Amino acid sequence: MKFIILITISLTLLVCKIATAQEVKWGIKAGANMSTLKTDLDGENFLLGCHIGGLAEFELSEKFSLLPELLYSLEGGKIKGSFHFEDEGTTFSIDYKEDIMLSYLQLPIMLRYEVVKNLSLEVGPQIGYLLSAKSDYYVKTQFDDEIMTDSGSEKIKDQIKSLDLGLNFGLGYEFNNKMLIQSRYHLGLSDINDSETSMNEDSTNRGSIKNNSFQVSVGYKF
C-alpha cells in the first residue's frame, strides 16, 4: 500500500512540474475492453467492457512525451468450470458460470516514444480505484436424477481491494486531423482479492485475482 501511495504522489508531482513548464495538449478518448481475470481457478474467459475519459500530453522532447489519462473503465472476466464424479451407479456433478464486473476510475501515465511520424510506442504504470463490483452467477448441481440450479446477482465490492496496480504496453497513431487510435495491453500486478478479510457465509474465496485486459481506443486532441 505504501509503495502504491509513493508512486501516485511521485507521478502527480512530476505531472505538475511538467505542466508548469510545457504547453499542454488536452483530449478525450473512448473505446472497448476485452478483459479477463487471472485466477487460481480454471476456465477464465474474456468479458466485453468499455472505457471513456480524458487525456493530456506533455512534450518532453522531439520524440518523447508524457500522456496521463483519467478514465472510467469496466473490467472483469467470465469464469466457468465443472466437476463430475461417477462411481458404482452414483453420479454427482457441478457446473458453474460467473460474470465478474468491476468498475474502476483509472489513472494511467504513459511514456510515449514516436518511432516514425505519427506512430508511437507507449509504456507506463496504471493505478485503478474500484467504484463498484458485481457478480452474476449460475450453478447447476446434479445428484443422480435430481437436478438443482441456483442463479442470481450480488454486489462483491467488499471482497475486492480498492486499489489496483498494473503496467500498460501499447501502440498509438495520431492522424493529421488530431484524431488518434490506440491499442493497449494492461498487465495487472497486484492481487485484488480481498475475500479472506471479508469472508461471510455468502462470500466465495476465489484465490489470487489479477486484472488483465486488451483495450482499443479512439480519441481526439483539441
Per-domain boundaries in the chain: 24-196
pLDDT at 169: 97
- CATH topology for 24-196 is Porin (2.40.160)
**What are 129-162's pLDDT values in tens digits?**
999 999 999 999 988 788 889 999 999 999 999 9
Give the separation between CA 68 and CA 125, rounded to whole angstroms. 10
pLDDT at 90: 81
* pTM of model > 0.75: yes
pLDDT at 126: 95
Please report where in the chains the cell 518523447 appears, as a residue.
64
SS3 1: coil
Mean pLDDT per block of 10 residues along the chain (222 residues) reads: 58 61 84 91 82 93 92 92 78 88 96 95 96 94 86 93 96 94 96 68 65 96 91
Give the separation between CA 50 and CA 42, rounded to whole angstroms. 25
